[in-house]
Amino acid sequence: MCRLVAGRSWGREGSRLLGELVGLVAEAAAGDPYLKAVTGGEDRHCHGYGFIVVYRSPSGGWRLVYERFDALSGGLGEEEACRANLEASRGAAERLRGLLATVDEALVVFHVRRAGRGEPRGSLNAHPYRVEAFPPGGYVEAYLAHNGGLVKEGLARELGVNAPAYTDSHLLAIRIARRLAAGVDASTALAEGFAHAKSGYDVALVVVEDKLRGINASLWLAAGMAGGLDEARRKYYEPVLFHAAAAAGYVSSTVRDLAVERGVNASFEEARPGVYRVDGGRGAVFVRGF
């Protein structure tokens, strides 16, 4: 379970908007009424955070920053680690907001986590997950963040790995990497993963191709929910797209509510199930359904 924002900007105004939304994710982590309705009491996403940002520097080149953190890795107790993670996520959001205020073009994924019962913890299990793939004639890195639940055992059997050693989202990242390595495009790999969904299937995927001429990055989104969810879970996992003059992407439902309350200059709509590519100047473009 998580709250996240995934977006792309193509102008300074859009980059500032991404920074504002990142700040709202950190705020949602500290108190989320949708999570409280699902859990019956707990309203904090305090099991770690992570982000990736790919941005065009003032000199014109592309740069990438990737960070994950969970204070439980340092041996703290559960409650102490929870408070430390909330503080750290606020600090990371402020750093990202400061960076984004200085750039004209960026791709951003920022994620705060509430781990499922029995799922592995620690910084190595914070999203986004980084995986590598070697498709014919090339090399790519993929960074995946996910809000939802997957049928973990089925994914592990398909991949031939030990299920308890991985989170369900990590298994999805590995599966997508293998499909990319086989020459399958990102939209197909994301769409295939929906077959394993048992609750939400809200996925942000950054694909980075490191070519001789420099970094080429793309942002893909998957939006969907498995059938049979109760109303509280449907509200929690609702996939929301945002559009603005110079940015577009995905936000979690709580972030949408905070943005509307604060008068953020963007429009929001529930995403229809399927895969989207976020293109500069065009926004979140629907590619295919599940």
pLDDT at position 197 over 90? yes
| Domain boundaries of the chain, sorted by first residue | 2-288
Question: What does the pLDDT look like over 3-31, one tens digit per residue?
Answer: 999 999 999 999 999 999 999 999 999 99
Angstrom distance (rounded) from CA 133 to CA 3: 27
pLDDT at 76: 83
pLDDT at 60: 79
Average pLDDT over residues 39-52: 97
Kindly report the number of other CB atoms within 10 A of residue 40's CB atom. 7
Tell me, what amino acid is at 162? N
pLDDT band at 186 (very low <50, low <70, confident <90, very high): very high
Segment 127-130 long-range contacts (CB within 8 Å, at least 24 positions apart): 127/2, 127/4, 127/50, 127/68, 127/169, 128/50, 128/51, 128/52, 128/66, 128/68, 128/204, 128/206, 129/169, 129/170, 129/173, 130/66, 130/173
pLDDT at 43: 98
Q: Apex CA 133: angle with CA 251 and CA 215, to 5°?
A: 65
pLDDT at position 51 over 60? yes
Mean pLDDT (the chain, rounded): 95
pLDDT at 136: 84
pLDDT at position 212 over 60? no
Question: What does the pLDDT look like over 116-146, one tens digit per residue?
Answer: 888 999 999 999 999 999 998 788 999 999 9
Are the C-beta atoms of 211 and 140 separated by less than 8 Å?
no
Helix axes 78-100, 12-30, angle to 10 degrees: 170
Q: Where are the alpha helices (DSSP H) in the chain?
A: 12-30, 33-39, 78-100, 152-159, 168-181, 186-193, 231-237, 253-262
Question: What does the pLDDT look like over 54-113, one tens digit per residue?
Answer: 999 877 788 999 999 999 977 789 999 999 999 999 999 999 999 999 999 999 999 999
Angstrom distance (rounded) from CA 254 to CA 235: 9
Helix axes 152-159, 168-181, angle to 10 degrees: 40
Average pLDDT over residues 171-191: 97
CATH number of 2-288: 3.60.20.10
